[in-house]
């Protein structure tokens, strides 16, 4: 913890120097400071202090503060950044193996653009050059912005700096590795240790007499996209599991995700059954689902939530998939949740980006937003999760959740339902466990959905599934401002490093791949960083009402566009959580008052003790209530 | 749901659904249910065995009781206990199920057996016996009563009585007159004789701190407070000799003599001499002015007025004139927007309207108008603060948009008006005394449909937007704004009952004369202002108005206690009013950025300075510069104005919609936590004062802690548990207050769920007959 303390003190110094810089900059109406993405870490402490101690620090800062093992690749002068908000900005562009760094030329005004290469989705040479002999490039980014640059064409025929960026930004396409493998920062806490599956199941009281832990997937032989540790009904032997696996898409058999501490109702996840056009049945699968139902004595029913719209589920039959027929599965009720597939979601986000970036059309903001259907999709996902949570909590019924493969919509639904049901997941560490468990180990294909370092931007496998999940969580935090230990900034940080490729957390597609790649040894976990700077990510209003189930109101009346994320590049959109800041000020004030009161008390006690002894009884009485505040 | 034909409506459809589920009325004669009456209130008509509908889909939770119409309210009296409503703030004037007559928007009677329905208007016949009564309220409630077991004739009589008494023929028939005469001037009963102007005898109440601006001294104090040395109080309108709709006292430039003003007045619409509103510390003044009728005189008079205002400016700066009629929506536009917003919020069927919710909000244009008003006010703020010129608000009659814009400007510029007492005095100054036609705009007499417009609510909404953007800058909460908005519909307070002070005086005098009431020293009848909150709520409930985050003057008392760390309050009131350099000084410790240091995040500092849309506009530049620094909450506040910044005021517009209620959620859960903390701080401060004052521990028997907070810190533990009754509607409850008929799929739904109910009552009435 010593390390983090030193960075704290650094932080406070920084913030004071920052003030000075703003002060000095405010005189110029063209000034601007974008201090995005600066790693204030221990290793670069001394140079930073030196540089930032100066009031003109940003103007003096020619090059980015390099991260450990970050290296300069190219520096080009006289590049123009064509900013949609401010117009042309001339400056120097620096490219490293991790980022693109642009700095305005003029000394008196600071403008800095600091973009990790990982967020770049594609680079296009743009037509219509600004003036003769200039070429321009557009960098389309995954984090809802586009960056447009222009520079003079080189007469010597050297390639543009953006050709270099293209290589560096898409290392995977060039048989290279993303920067996470090189980043060598050491943090006080090792985030790879955040999730220990057996500890997490133990927290839920598992295994128990109805649920056992199986080692059948120890070498990923049963299912290569599942984790090693699986919880299955106690009375189903491993042999049967293999037969069940043959009937489930990608062998993703139904396994337990969560169990209700009182009713023993469970949340179980899997992929679609391989029913096919002929309506194939599997006695093993039917028996297996019956066993899941039997494991919960409270209910004689089992709910199967198919995340897809029923039409899509039917269409899947032609490809060998399908859904559970109620004839085959006695006592089971099938519900379709009408959540659309990854392609629809990708298209919706594309439209959303058009509406929010760069500028918002003033007169039709809400109807434009409506036409993207983004919030409608968010609503359907939340509504599905709410139905699941309600079935488990109020209906005391076990639920089985699947979509087609069980790694996109299923992950959204199980994790959101668990977030509503279990207050543990609403803590910072609990939420990390939830992501590790339901998303990472259960094989949400992050590499494919995000396309880390891959130039193939039009890949049909890309989709903002995880972004939607985080958006849903943000919606929950809006409705329950005191129910989450973390703040909005925490969620934004997760999304930023979903793309940045600085940490190993979101690399690869499955647990098996991650182990094969040795991510834990070769890369740093995002949780290492976050848990070492916890203070920044905490919600001061958090109330731990541990056994409280959240029932959000899933209505367009309450759903809002997450402006703090989607519109944050617009300088008119202020990024702030004002209530949190006010509350923190009040906390400081209380602490100070407490100190004062205690000092006075001590003083008075010592005085009265020395002066008189007959009134000895009364002081103790008055002291006690004060100490209860502490 | 797909292509299946809808079943043909049969006669059965019109029968109330789920007959079997209906709870039977208690068989034994109920013990006598009596309406709680206020002084001067009389029962006009009543009917027993009435069922108040609680949920729209089932009658299981319905309440049985008596429906009473008085000359003040509709009262439903019941012994049944409402489940699911665990908390409600209590009004002294109204019971849980009561609706004041002035709050009624529309009365619909239905007979489902005869398939008839009718919108009731005063003095109309009703040709059927109603089986159901639906009251649409101005505060967005929809309340439903069933008469299945009630005497058909009495039910009809009550309905007709409600229709009659909710549309009084004359202003003096509004209940307030009777009430005030009884409470304050009933010579036989001295017990209740309290001065309506003031509160109790204890410490100075909020009401007493609120100047009403009906005396020259109130104006004098305001002139001194704002340092407007070149302005004076003018009393030529004493006895309303010059203008009937101006207040008796107002403020004018010192360079204009009474004689000149008398002469000018005849050329202005309504004889309204230009009024001073407020002075900036840099000397620029805010003035409001009606149009000049006489075209011949226009230029000359304009010049005279401007010259006088210029002369009152220390730098003799120019005057900037803003024509509000040209730059803002008309009052009819605003009324239309409001009607559409109400339609979307509470009338349209909930589920069906979900998909189109955002566009229906947009189509209403309400938020657009909110934004428009804020934007216009902000631009004038730039004139006063940035360009240091005086500003004239010009409007045809100077009685509508001027009230709104001038108050908004002052809320943004002057932190005094963000305190409760200051805000109340602002409304008194810019609305009540300036002659905003509350009577007509609220349509209390149901006679001025074309004049009705929710301008005051629009103003409250604008203030709410500022409150959301700067949650620590206001002493009050959104509950305060909501309750204030609801108080429009109580015909008891002087504040919202009249078109202008003269009308109040005249009617009071007449009323006193006609009833030969002795008012003592020949003063006419005086109504209490709404600011006397003790008329409505207990001390405890009034604590709901107090914002725990407010860092206004309350923080200065800490400084006596040697705690000086409360950074945001450093720059206090005087600083911001003396000199515009306060903006620079406003650069404090930037709490905005502090928590984000050391961060590894892609982040853009909120910085306005290069927004491109209007690169040449100096006001834009001014805003940019202001937004590039942390806000000084005790200084100038500017609204953020992207369309995505302007939000729907859910507490006000959606509090009655049961489907929207978040249990154990909503902003109130944060409010609870903050209140508890603020309460702890108050306790510590009190203790500190005690120790310091006495200098001995024997003071340790703490006097009862007087809290400003509604939610209190418990002495026993650090964390006070969150009460389970908290919902996003708190302190209101939608239960039983929004009860639309569940008649989906029947022809009746066309009437009851459709737009017609609100838009064209006449058509509906004629169709039904």
- DSSP calls for B672-726: HHHHHHHHHHHHHHHHHHHHHHH-SGGGGSPPPP--S-SS---SS-SSPPPPTT-
pLDDT at B27: 52
- CB-based contact A43:A130 (threshold 8 Å): no
pLDDT at A375 over 60: yes
- Chain A interface includes B75 (CB < 8 A): no
Region A28-50 average pLDDT: 30
- Chain B interface includes A492 (CB < 8 A): yes
pLDDT at B304 over 50: yes
Interface predicted TM-score (ipTM): 0.87
CA–CA distance from B747 to each of A346, B116, B343 (Å)? Answer: 42, 11, 19
More confident of the two residues B633 and B588: B633
Q: How confident is the model at residue A605 (pLDDT cuts 50, 70, 90)?
A: confident
pLDDT at B220: 97
- CB-based contact B567:B589 (threshold 8 Å): yes
Q: How confident is the model at residue B567 (pLDDT cuts 50, 70, 90)?
A: very low
- Chain A interface includes B346 (CB < 8 A): no
HEC per residue, A309-363:
CHHHHHHHHHHCCCCCCCCCCCCEEEEECCCCCHHHHHHHHHHHHHHHCCCCCCC
pLDDT at A575 over 50: yes
pLDDT at A223 over 70: yes
| B contacts of A570 (beta carbons < 8 Å) | 642
Close Cβ partners of B614 (under 8 Å, ≥ 6 residues apart): B620
- Chain A interface includes B591 (CB < 8 A): yes
Whole-number percent of chain A with pLDDT over 70: 85
Region B512-539 average pLDDT: 83
- Chain B interface includes A375 (CB < 8 A): yes
A109: tokens are 């005004």
Task: For chain B, state the CA radius of gyration.
Answer: 28
- Chain A interface includes B546 (CB < 8 A): no
Catalytic residue numbers of A read 403
Q: Which of B472, B601, B665 sits opposite A479 (nearest CB)?
A: B665
- Chain A interface includes B681 (CB < 8 A): yes
Instruction: Summarize pLDDT for B240-256 with one digit per residue, the tens.
Output: 999 999 999 999 999 99
HEC per residue, B103-126:
HEEEEEEEECCCCEEEECCCCCCC
Region A612-621 average pLDDT: 46
pLDDT at A382 over 70: yes
pLDDT at B55 over 60: yes
pLDDT at A155: 72
Distance CA B94, CA B455 (A): 25
Region B147-163 average pLDDT: 95
Mutate to test the interface with B, among A579, A584, A605 (most CBs of B within 10 A): A579
Instruction: Summarize pLDDT for A459-494 with one digit per residue, the tens.
Output: 999 999 999 999 999 999 999 999 999 999 999 999
- Chain B interface includes A390 (CB < 8 A): no
| A contacts of B605 (beta carbons < 8 Å) | 33-35
pLDDT at B117 over 70: yes
Stretch among A193-197, A524-528, B123-127, B664-668 having the lowest mean pLDDT = B123-127
Across the interface, whether the CB atoms of B587 and A18 are under 8 A apart is answered no
| A contacts of B681 (beta carbons < 8 Å) | 586, 589-590, 593
Across the interface, whether the CB atoms of B684 and A529 are under 8 A apart is answered no
Distance CA A96, CA A73 (A): 5
pLDDT at B593: 32
More confident of the two residues B371 and B295: B371
pLDDT at A628 over 70: no
Work out the widest C-alpha separation in chain A, in whole angstroms: 98
Provide the total of helices (H) and of strands (E) in chain B, helices listed first: 27, 14
pLDDT at A17 over 50: no
Close Cβ partners of B188 (under 8 Å, ≥ 6 residues apart): none
- CB-based contact B96:B735 (threshold 8 Å): no
Instruction: Summarize pLDDT for A185-217 with one digit per residue, the tens.
Output: 999 999 999 999 999 999 999 999 999 999 999
| B contacts of A568 (beta carbons < 8 Å) | 603-604
Sign of the C-alpha dihedral computed for residues A440, A446, A448 and A453 taken in this order: negative
Q: Which of residues 15-54 of A touch B (CB under 8 A)?
A: 15, 18-19, 22-23, 26, 29-40
pLDDT at B590 over 80: no
pLDDT at B595 over 50: no
Region A289-297 average pLDDT: 95
pLDDT at A49 over 50: no
More confident of the two residues A405 and B30: A405
pLDDT at A65: 85
A598, closest residue in chain B (CA to CA): B688
A618: closest CA of chain B, how far (Å): 7
- Chain B interface includes A360 (CB < 8 A): yes
Across the interface, whether the CB atoms of A366 and B362 are under 8 A apart is answered yes
Q: How confident is the model at residue B672 (pLDDT cuts 50, 70, 90)?
A: very high
Strand partners, A137: A125, A149
Region B172-188 average pLDDT: 83
pLDDT at B121: 87
pLDDT at B381: 98
Across the interface, whether the CB atoms of B603 and A571 are under 8 A apart is answered no
pLDDT at A609: 76
B307: tokens are 């010259």
pLDDT at A18: 34
CA–CA distance from A355 to each of A266, A358, B474, B646 (Å)? Answer: 41, 8, 34, 17
pLDDT at A615 over 60: no
pLDDT at B660 over 90: yes
A15: closest CA of chain B, how far (Å): 6
B57: closest CA of chain A, how far (Å): 19
CA-nearest of A179, A185, A153 to A79 is A153
- CB-based contact B545:B476 (threshold 8 Å): yes
A244: tokens are 């069940």
- Chain A interface includes B691 (CB < 8 A): yes
Distance CA B382, CA A264 (A): 63
Instruction: Summarize pLDDT for A396-415 with one digit per residue, the tens.
Output: 999 999 999 999 999 999 99
More confident of the two residues A65 and A140: A140
A78: closest CA of chain B, how far (Å): 21
Strand partners, A231: A213
Work out the widest C-alpha separation in chain B, in whole angstroms: 85
Region A40-62 average pLDDT: 35
Distance CA B374, CA B371 (A): 5
More confident of the two residues A338 and B515: A338
Instruction: Summarize pLDDT for A227-278 with one digit per residue, the tens.
Output: 999 999 999 999 999 999 999 999 999 999 999 999 999 999 999 999 999 9
Strand partners, B393: B288, B322
Range from A130-144, A606-620, B433-447 that averages highest in pLDDT? B433-447
Q: Which of A370, A482, A590 sits opposite B359 (nearest CB)?
A: A370
Q: Which of A11, A359, A596 sits opposite B688 (nearest CB)?
A: A596
Region B457-484 average pLDDT: 96
Range from A21-30, B138-147, B191-200 that averages highest in pLDDT? B138-147
B42: closest CA of chain A, how far (Å): 42
- Chain B interface includes A164 (CB < 8 A): no
Distance CA A455, CA B62 (A): 64
| A contacts of B357 (beta carbons < 8 Å) | 370, 555-557
pLDDT at B122 over 90: no
Close Cβ partners of B191 (under 8 Å, ≥ 6 residues apart): none
pTM of the predicted protein model: 0.87
Across the interface, whether the CB atoms of B595 and A83 are under 8 A apart is answered no
């Amino acid at each position: 913890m010593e390390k983090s303390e030193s960075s704290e003190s650094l932080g406070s110094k920084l913030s004071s120097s920052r003030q000075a810089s703003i002060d000095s900059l405010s005189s110029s109406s063209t000034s601007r400071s974008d201090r995005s993405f600066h790693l204030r870490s221990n290793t670069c402490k001394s140079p930073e202090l030196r540089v930032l101690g100066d009031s003109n620090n940003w103007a003096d800062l020619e090059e980015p503060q390099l991260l450990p093992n970050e290296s300069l690749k190219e520096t080009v002068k006289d590049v123009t950044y064509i900013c949609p908000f401010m117009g042309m900005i001339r400056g120097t562009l620096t490219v490293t193996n991790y980022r693109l760094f642009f700095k305005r030329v003029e000394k008196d005004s600071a403008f800095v653009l600091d973009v990790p290469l990982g967020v770049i989705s594609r680079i296009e040479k743009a037509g219509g050059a600004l003036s003769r002999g200039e070429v321009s490039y557009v960098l389309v980014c995954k984090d809802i912005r586009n960056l447009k640059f222009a520079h003079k064409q080189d007469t010597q025929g050297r390639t543009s700096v953006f050709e270099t960026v293209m290589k560096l930004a898409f290392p995977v396409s060039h048989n290279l590795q993303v920067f996470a493998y090189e980043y060598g920062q050491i943090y006080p806490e090792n985030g790879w240790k955040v999730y220990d599956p057996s500890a997490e199941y133990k927290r839920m009281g598992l295994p128990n007499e109805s649920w056992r832990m199986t080692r059948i997937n120890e070498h990923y032989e049963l299912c290569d996209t599942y984790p090693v540790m699986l919880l299955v009904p106690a009375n189903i032997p491993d042999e049967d599991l293999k037969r069940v696996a043959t009937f489930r898409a990608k062998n993703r058999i139904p396994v337990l995700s969560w169990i209700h501490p009182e009713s023993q109702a469970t949340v179980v996840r899997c992929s679609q059954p391989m029913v096919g056009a002929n309506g194939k049945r599997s006695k093993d699968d039917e028996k297996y689902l019956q066993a899941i139902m039997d494991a919960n004595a409270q209910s004689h029913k089992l709910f199967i939530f198919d995340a897809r719209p029923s039409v899509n589920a039917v269409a899947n039959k032609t490809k060998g998939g399908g859904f559970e027929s109620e004839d085959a599965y006695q006592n089971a009720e099938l519900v379709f949740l009408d959540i659309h597939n990854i392609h629809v979601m990708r298209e919706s986000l594309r439209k959303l980006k058009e509406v929010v970036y760069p500028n918002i059309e003033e007169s039709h903001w809400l109807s434009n937003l409506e036409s993207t259907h983004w919030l409608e999709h968010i609503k359907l996902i939340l509504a599905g999760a709410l139905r699941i949570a309600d079935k488990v909590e109020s209906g005391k019924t076990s639920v089985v959740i699947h979509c087609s493969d069980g790694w996109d919509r299923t992950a959204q639904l199980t994790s959101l339902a668990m977030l509503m049901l279990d207050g543990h997941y609403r803590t910072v560490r609990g939420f990390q466990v939830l992501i590790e468990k339901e998303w990472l180990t259960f094989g949400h294909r992050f590499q494919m959905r995000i396309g880390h370092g891959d130039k193939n931007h039009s890949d049909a496998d890309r989709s903002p599934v995880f972004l939607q999940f985080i958006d849903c969580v943000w919606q929950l935090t809006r409705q329950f401002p005191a129910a989450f230990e973390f703040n909005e900034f925490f969620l934004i940080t997760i999304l930023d490093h979903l793309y940045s490729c600085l940490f190993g957390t979101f690399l690869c597609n499955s647990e098996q791949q991650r182990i094969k790649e040795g991510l834990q040894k070769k890369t740093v976990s995002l949780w290492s960083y976050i848990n070492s700077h916890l203070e920044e990510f905490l919600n001061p209003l958090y109330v731990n009402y541990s056994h409280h189930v959240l029932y959000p109101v899933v209505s367009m009346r309450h759903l809002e566009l997450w402006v703090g994320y989607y519109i944050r590049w617009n300088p008119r959109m202020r990024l702030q959580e004002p209530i949190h800041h006010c509350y923190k000020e009040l906390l400081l004030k209380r602490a100070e008052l407490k100190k004062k009161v205690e000092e006075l008390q001590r003083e008075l006690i010592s005085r009265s003790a020395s002066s008189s002894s007959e009134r000895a009884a009364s002081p103790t009485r008055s002291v006690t209530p004060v100490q209860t505040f502490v | 749901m797909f292509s299946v034909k809808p079943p043909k409506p049969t006669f059965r459809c019109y029968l109330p659904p789920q007959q079997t589920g209906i709870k039977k009325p208690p068989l034994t004669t109920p013990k006598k249910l009596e309406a709680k009456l206020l002084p001067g209130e009389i029962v006009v008509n009543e009917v027993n065995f009435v069922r108040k509908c609680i949920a729209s889909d089932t009658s299981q939770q319905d309440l049985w009781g008596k429906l009473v119409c008085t000359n003040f309210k509709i009262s439903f009296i019941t012994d049944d206990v409402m489940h699911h409503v665990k908390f409600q703030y209590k009004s002294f004037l109204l019971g849980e199920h009561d609706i004041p007559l002035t709050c009624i928007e529309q009365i619909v009677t239905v007979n489902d057996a005869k398939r008839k329905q009718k919108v009731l208007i005063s003095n109309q016949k009703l040709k059927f016996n109603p089986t159901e009564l639906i009251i649409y309220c101005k505060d967005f409630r929809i309340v439903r009563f069933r008469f299945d077991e009630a005497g058909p004739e009495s039910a009809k009589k009550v309905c007709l009585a409600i229709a009659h008494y909710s549309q009084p023929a004359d202003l003096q028939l509004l209940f307030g007159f009777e009430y005030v005469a009884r409470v304050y001037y009933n010579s036989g009963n001295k017990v209740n004789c309290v001065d309506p102007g003031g509160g109790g005898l204890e410490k100075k109440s909020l009401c007493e701190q609120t100047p009403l601006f009906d005396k020259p001294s109130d104006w004098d104090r305001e002139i001194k407070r704002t340092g407007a040395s070149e302005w004076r109080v003018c009393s030529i309108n004493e006895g309303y000799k010059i203008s009937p709709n101006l207040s008796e006292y107002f403020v004018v430039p010192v360079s204009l003599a009474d004689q000149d003003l008398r002469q000018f007045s005849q050329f202005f619409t309504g004889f309204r001499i230009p009024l001073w509103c407020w002075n900036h510390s840099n000397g620029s003044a805010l003035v409001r002015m009606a149009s000049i009728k006489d075209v011949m005189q226009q230029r000359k008079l304009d010049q005279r007025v401007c010259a006088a205002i210029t002369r009152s400016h220390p730098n003799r700066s120019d005057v900037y004139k803003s024509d509000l009629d040209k730059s803002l929506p008309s009052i009819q536009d605003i009324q239309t927007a409001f009607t559409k917003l109400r339609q979307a919020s509470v009338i349209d069927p909930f589920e069906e309207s979900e998909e189109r919710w955002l566009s229906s909000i947009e189509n209403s244009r309400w938020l657009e108008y909110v934004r428009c008003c804020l934007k216009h006010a902000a631009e004038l703020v730039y004139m006063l603060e940035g360009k240091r010129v005086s500003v004239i608000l010009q409007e045809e009659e100077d009685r509508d948009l001027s009230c709104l814009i001038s108050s908004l400007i002052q809320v943004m510029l002057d932190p005094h008006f963000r305190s409760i007492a200051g805000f109340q005095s602002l409304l008194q100054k810019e609305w009540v005394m300036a002659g905003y036609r509350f009577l007509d705009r609220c349509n209390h007499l149901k006679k001025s449909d074309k004049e009705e417009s929710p301008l005051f609510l629009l103003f409250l909404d604008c203030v709410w937007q500022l409150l959301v953007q700067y949650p620590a800058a206001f002493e009050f909460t959104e509950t305060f704004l909501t309750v204030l908005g609801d108080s429009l519909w109580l015909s008891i307070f002087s504040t919202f009952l009249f078109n202008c002070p003269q009308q109040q005086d005249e009617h009071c005098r007449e009323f006193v004369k006609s009833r030969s009431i002795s008012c003592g020293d020949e003063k006419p009848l005086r109504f209490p202002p709404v600011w006397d909150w003790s008329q409505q709520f207990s001390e405890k409930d009034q604590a709901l108005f107090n914002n725990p985050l407010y860092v206004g003057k309350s923080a200065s008392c800490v400084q006596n206690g040697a705690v000086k760390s409360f950074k945001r309050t450093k720059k206090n009131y005087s600083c911001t009013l003396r000199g515009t350099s306060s903006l620079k000084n406003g650069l404090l410790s930037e709490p905005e950025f502090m928590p984000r240091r050391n961060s590894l995040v892609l982040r853009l500092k909120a910085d306005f300075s290069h927004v491109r849309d209007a690169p040449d506009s100096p006001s834009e530049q001014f805003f940019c510069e202001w937004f590039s620094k942390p806000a000084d909450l005790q200084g100038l506040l500017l609204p953020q104005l992207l369309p995505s910044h302007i939000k729907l005021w859910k507490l006000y517009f959606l509090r009655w919609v049961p489907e929207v209620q978040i249990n154990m959620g909503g902003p109130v859960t944060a409010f609870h936590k903050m209140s508890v903390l603020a309460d702890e701080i108050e306790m510590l401060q009190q203790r500190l004062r005690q120790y310091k004052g006495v200098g001995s521990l024997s003071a340790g028997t703490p006097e009862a802690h007087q809290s400003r907070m509604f939610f209190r810190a418990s002495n026993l533990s650090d964390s006070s548990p969150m009460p389970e009754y908290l919902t996003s509607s708190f302190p209101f409850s939608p239960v039983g207050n929004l009860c639309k008929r569940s008649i989906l799929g029947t022809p009746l739904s066309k009437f009851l769920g459709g737009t017609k109910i609100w838009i064209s009552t006449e058509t509906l009435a004629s169709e039904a007959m």
